[in-house]
Structure 1
Amino acid sequence: MDNQTLVQYFHWYYNEADKLWIKAGKDAEKLAQMGITGIWLPPAYKANAGEASVGYDPYDLYDLGEFDQKNTLATKYGTKEDYQNAIHILQENGISVIADIVFNHKAGGDELEKVTVRTVNPEDREEFTSEPFEIEAWTKFSFKGRNGQYSQFIWDKDCFSGIDWAEDLKETGIYSIQNIYGEGWEDVPSKELGNYDYLMYNDIEFRNPAVREELKRWGEWYVNSCGMKGFRLDAVKHIATDFLIEWLDHMNETFNTQFFVVAENWNIDNVTELEHYLEITKGRMQLFDSLLHHNLFLAGEEKEQYDLSKIFEGTLVQLQPMYTVTFVDNHDSQPLQALESYIDFWFRPLAYALILLREDGIPCIFYADLYGAKYKDEDKEEDMVDVNLVPLIELPEMMSIRKDLSYGLQRDYLDFPNCIGWTRTGIPEKVNSGIAVIMSNGAEGYKAMEMGLENAGRIMIDAIGNRKEMIIIDEKGWAYFFCNAESVSVWTIA
């Protein structure tokens, strides 16, 4: 079986001529040939910002670009038919589709309701800063454009635990809704700011059993309509974990399958919290390794001052490799985003070698590194920033090496602050498999590494092309491998 490789098939500012669903269908065969086994597509449902929305301000989960709502029929990425066709073509090419699920909040309510609320201290949401009072808020979602098709469920004030806008007062804030399910926030994994249940927009109230049942019905409809094989769960540290467990168990039981699930629990400080989340969800999902991303970011910033031998310290992939999806960057860390921590271009080839060519974790490629991205910060009329992210020229070759050659016993040589490496011995089922990887964040580097007796006498070359010499593995299965300054070389059998 080939190594798994995922791709995040979008970025925040996607602006190409082809709608994304059309482009995905066109690219399916090529992506499969490159070794992609799973594709993470962005939120597909109608959002508050209509055709301009990336999808993380969800309005109607049942509208996949089918109904005239929010001043558009199609979403930013195309129509429902385009989406269904893309999924079919991708999965016909052996690529499992992973659908982005945003359960934390809804946006763009249709009608005002009178709602009893209390304000809270934004820095400590457990602290109320007012007595209960009444406001008018956009908490009723009637979806008149859909007119009850697929679901007649109406979301109202009892379906939400918090909001951020009082229409009658014309004031923003964090308003805790006082309802029959409790005056305070739900129990969520994140204790940041006292309790991080509230993130944005209309925060969904999972203590309401009608809400839980509606989201289960929607999940069934979604899979029956589109046939995806997995889910990416957004912002799980803000969501009641017992609901996600209940929802995933329901989906797996209903479809008699085990959906691939990866969750976003952004944390760059404490791997213990991520391990705890894996413990309480008991193998139901994997997590993105935001801690490794942060280490890669620091390594790019600090150059030779960074100790490469510690690049995996404190990361999820080091401690829980079976439940980890690794990545270099994503739509949250790309330039101009709130969590911007884009890895310096010189270090990107090294970073991709670290996630693609090792045995632990499932790597996720970022769209912009395959295709590039050009965009502007449209929110800033003054001092507008032009961003040009160029494709990483080494990436297709590294993906090919992962698909065909990166197998067998791994030996690590993470033993020097400025130069590290590892080898994979290869397996008989993959012809000429086996690799040696060496990288430096300072001067030109070299390292003696073992390829194993089974590879004695074989010739190796740098498939990336940074080094031109040939290396012969000695009779004991060892050789000296080289890399250029601030560079990576991937040695493969000639």
Structure 2
Amino acid sequence: MGVVPALSQGGMEMRRYTRVLILLMALFLLAGLYYPSASAAKYSELEQGGVIMQAFYWDVPAGGIWWDTIRQKIPEWYDAGISAIWIPPASKGMGGAYSMGYDPYDYFDLGEFYQKGTVETRFGSKEELVNMISTAHRYGIKVIADIVINHRAGGDLEWNPYVGDYTWTDFSQVASGKYKAHYMDFHPNNYSTSDEGTFGGFPDIDHLVPFNKYWLWASDESYAAYLRSIGVDAWRFDYVKGYGAWVVKDWLSWWGGWAVGEYWDTDVNALLNWAYDSGAKVFDFPLYYKMDEAFDNKNIPALVYAIQNGGTVVSRDPFKAVTFVANHDTNIIWNKYPAYAFILTYEGQPVIFYRDYEEWLNKDKLNNLIWIHEHLAGGSTKILYYDDDELIFMREGYGDRPGLITYINLGSGWAERWVNVGSKFAGYTIHEYTGNLGGWVDRYVYYNGWVKLTAPPHDPANGYYGYSVWSYAGVG
């Protein structure tokens, strides 16, 4: 036999270093930090259902600073696990430096021509926009452009023979020199008298007119081509109730990419018909309003009834549903922690609102839920228990995501309940992954599927967030 050498001084130091490292890792776990940084983990792509950040809100600071503001936040959003950012409409609007972009004047002015009293848009210059997009791409984050093509705004007066009066439909003075529309390009005209809907009294674009199709999407000189040329990856279509689903379908046939439409309605059939006809996803407004009813008014049965009876997009076709808690237009849900716990652990593709993440909520809690979404949440859903205050549901797991159990508690006291999870976790120890129970908490699931789960009170002001999330121990 050979002689086993004594440990060298360097080897002893290495062992001490390793013990200290293990101790530090254990302390982090006990503190409730159960997720690694995104740079050390695999996060899903936008097309695979990854988490989206709505990177703006209504009336973001003016002065041309917003593209730089987003650019500076991208590294942190990457670490959090964000797969894509949804940016505001980038073209020069009628309101010039004050426009939020939903009043498009010159589609081909991204902050490079002096018109409407400014060179830059509210958000900055074209150069700053391109730099922001390039930064996002360096971090593997996709960029979703907000597409406003139902109407135009800010044109000059001209005589319109189709209405027998003057209309604000002369766009011949756009500084870019591209897409110089006139009255014959808007409703009514010799092609049609109207379409699905108008907005705000602005001139209503007629998408059947070949001139409009050419400049908006159906050519290599189009607005869509221009956005592609600066690096835009995907599309969010504004006010799609205002024009036919065929427009988005044809846009995507030309340019491809992930897409979602804002079809603001609670009629699930109408939303899904639009989604199937267009080839895009759709924001789940029915779910949004049911979450408000459930989490703000302690009416969880209304949410469960809608889910179980096809009253939401996500319950009918989760692959078409983009879910959200707030956006730049609407912010009615006040109890946001259970709402985010729901959309980030349930089916559908979730969006996080900028102000919730950066200003109003606990960022660490949202980061933890993003990690849970990306590492645990997969497969179909089974509701295990509900009443006015409590909701417990299980995801069955899919691929490398093992599934989870979410326990939402709207009550003012601690909640504890036995539930049967069936064979999914039977015989295993499951771990609580949010840290909301005050440390490292495991529970054993009996072979008959029964397990006792706990959820904290809903009292964010005092550090209780009203939800817990469970899965196999040792994930991540």
What range describes the TM-score normalised by the shorter chain of this pair?
A: 0.7 to 0.9
Runs of at least 4 residues off by over 6 Å: none
Shift in Å, 1:449: 4.1
Q: Which residue is 1:446 aligned to?
A: 416
Q: Which residue is 2:294 aligned to?
A: 299
Question: In the alignment, residue 312 of structure 2 is paired with which amino acid?
Answer: T
Distance 1:404 1:325, change over 3 A: same
Distance 1:296 1:154, change over 3 A: same
Q: Provide the rounded CA distance (Å) in 1 between the counterparts of 2:273 and 2:301.
A: 29
Question: In the alignment, residue 454 of structure 2 is paired with which amino acid?
Answer: F
Q: Which residue is 1:405 aligned to?
A: 376
Shift in Å, 1:75: 0.8
Q: Which residue is 1:436 aligned to?
A: 405
Distance 1:309 1:30, change over 3 A: same
Contact 2:62 2:122 in 1 (8 A): no
Contact 2:104 2:153 in 1 (8 A): yes
Q: Please, which of 388, 394, 400 is the counterpart of residue 423 of structure 1?
A: 394
Superposition map of 1:315-464 within 5 A: 315-334=312-331, 342-344=332-334, 347-358=335-346, 360-372=347-359, 389-390=360-361, 394-407=365-378, 410-424=381-395, 429=400, 434-442=403-411, 444-447=414-417, 448-450=419-421, 452=423, 456-458=427-429, 460-461=431-432, 463-464=434-435
Shift in Å, 1:465: 1.7
Shift in Å, 1:117: 5.2
Shift in Å, 1:198: 4.9
Q: Provide the rounded CA distance (Å) in 2 between the counterparts of 1:320 and 1:463.
A: 28
Q: Which residue is 2:19 aligned to?
A: none
Shift in Å, 1:370: 0.5
Q: Which whole-Å deviations, capped at 9, do the CAs of 1:208-230 have from their partners, x for residues lacking one?
A: 11111121232353244212110
Q: Provide the rounded CA distance (Å) in 2 between the counterparts of 1:459 and 1:249.
A: 46
Q: Which residue is 2:88 aligned to?
A: 42
Q: Does 2:158 align with 1:87?
A: no
Q: Which whole-Å deviations, capped at 9, do the CAs of 1:151-195 have from their partners, x for residues lacking one?
A: 3x321111111xxxxxxxxxxxxxxx4x2223x312x3xxxxxxx
Q: Which whole-Å deviations, capped at 9, do the CAs of 1:34-57 have from their partners, x for residues lacking one?
A: 111111111011001111111101
Q: Please, which of 194, 197, 205 is the counterpart of residue 185 of structure 1?
A: 194
Q: Provide the rounded CA distance (Å) in 1 between the counterparts of 2:399 and 2:194.
A: 56
Q: Does 2:202 align with 1:201?
A: yes
Q: Please, which of 160, 166, 175 is the counterpart of residue 145 of structure 1?
A: 175
Contact 1:24 1:90 in 2 (8 A): no
Shift in Å, 1:411: 4.0
Shift in Å, 1:280: 2.4
Q: Provide the rounded CA distance (Å) in 2 between the counterparts of 1:350 and 1:16.
A: 33
Q: Does 2:165 align with 1:135?
A: yes
Normalization by structure 1: what TM-score? 0.77
Distance 1:408 1:316, change over 3 A: closer
Distance 1:88 1:207, change over 3 A: same
Q: Please, which of 230, 239, 250 is the counterpart of residue 235 of structure 1?
A: 239
Q: Does 2:240 align with 1:248?
A: no
Structure 1 vs Structure 2 CA RMSD:
2.6
Q: Please, which of 257, 272, 275 is the counterpart of residue 278 of structure 1?
A: 275
Q: Provide the rounded CA distance (Å) in 2 between the counterparts of 1:40 and 1:211.
A: 25
Q: Provide the rounded CA distance (Å) in 1 between the counterparts of 2:228 and 2:276.
A: 30
Contact 1:308 1:414 in 2 (8 A): no
Q: Provide the rounded CA distance (Å) in 1 between the counterparts of 2:64 and 2:101.
A: 18
Distance 1:54 1:17, change over 3 A: closer
Distance 1:390 1:214, change over 3 A: same
Q: Provide the rounded CA distance (Å) in 2 between the counterparts of 1:490 and 1:316.
A: 24
Structure 1: tracts of 5 or more residues without a match: 119-133, 162-176, 189-195, 253-258, 335-341, 373-388
Q: Provide the rounded CA distance (Å) in 2 between the counterparts of 1:210 and 1:93.
A: 38
Q: Provide the rounded CA distance (Å) in 2 between the counterparts of 1:77 and 1:239.
A: 27
Q: Provide the rounded CA distance (Å) in 2 between the counterparts of 1:239 and 1:394.
A: 39
Q: Which whole-Å deviations, capped at 9, do the CAs of 1:222-243 have from their partners, x for residues lacking one?
A: 2442121100000001113333
Q: Does 2:413 align with 1:479?
A: no
Task: Count matched residues.
Answer: 412
Contact 1:427 1:434 in 2 (8 A): yes
Q: Provide the rounded CA distance (Å) in 2 between the counterparts of 1:39 and 1:462.
A: 26
Tell me the secondary structure at the aligned position of residue 86 of structure 1: helix
Q: Which residue is 1:157 aligned to?
A: 183
Distance 1:215 1:18, change over 3 A: closer
Q: Provide the rounded CA distance (Å) in 2 between the counterparts of 1:400 and 1:414.
A: 25
Distance 1:207 1:411, change over 3 A: closer
Distance 1:349 1:305, change over 3 A: closer
Q: Which residue is 2:10 aligned to?
A: none
Shift in Å, 1:116: 3.4
Shift in Å, 1:10: 0.5
Tell me the secondary structure at the aligned position of residue 222 of structure 1: helix
Q: Does 2:43 align with 1:2?
A: yes
Distance 1:36 1:473, change over 3 A: same
Q: Provide the rounded CA distance (Å) in 1 between the counterparts of 2:277 and 2:400.
A: 38
Distance 1:279 1:145, change over 3 A: closer
Q: Provide the rounded CA distance (Å) in 1 between the counterparts of 2:351 and 2:252.
A: 22
Q: Provide the rounded CA distance (Å) in 2 between the counterparts of 1:474 and 1:275.
A: 39
Shift in Å, 1:97: 0.7
Contact 2:300 2:387 in 1 (8 A): no
Q: Which residue is 2:159 aligned to?
A: 114
Q: Which whole-Å deviations, capped at 9, do the CAs of 1:445-468 have from their partners, x for residues lacking one?
A: 333242856673425235242455
Contact 1:369 1:395 in 2 (8 A): no
Contact 2:206 2:212 in 1 (8 A): yes
Q: Provide the rounded CA distance (Å) in 2 between the counterparts of 1:278 and 1:305.
A: 27
Distance 1:444 1:310, change over 3 A: farther
Contact 2:293 2:302 in 1 (8 A): no
Q: Provide the rounded CA distance (Å) in 2 between the counterparts of 1:451 and 1:54.
A: 50
Structure number with higher helix proportion: 2
Question: In the alignment, residue 136 of structure 1 is paired with which amino acid?
Answer: Y
Distance 1:457 1:200, change over 3 A: same
Q: Which whole-Å deviations, capped at 9, do the CAs of 1:300-320 have from their partners, x for residues lacking one?
A: 332258645335350001001
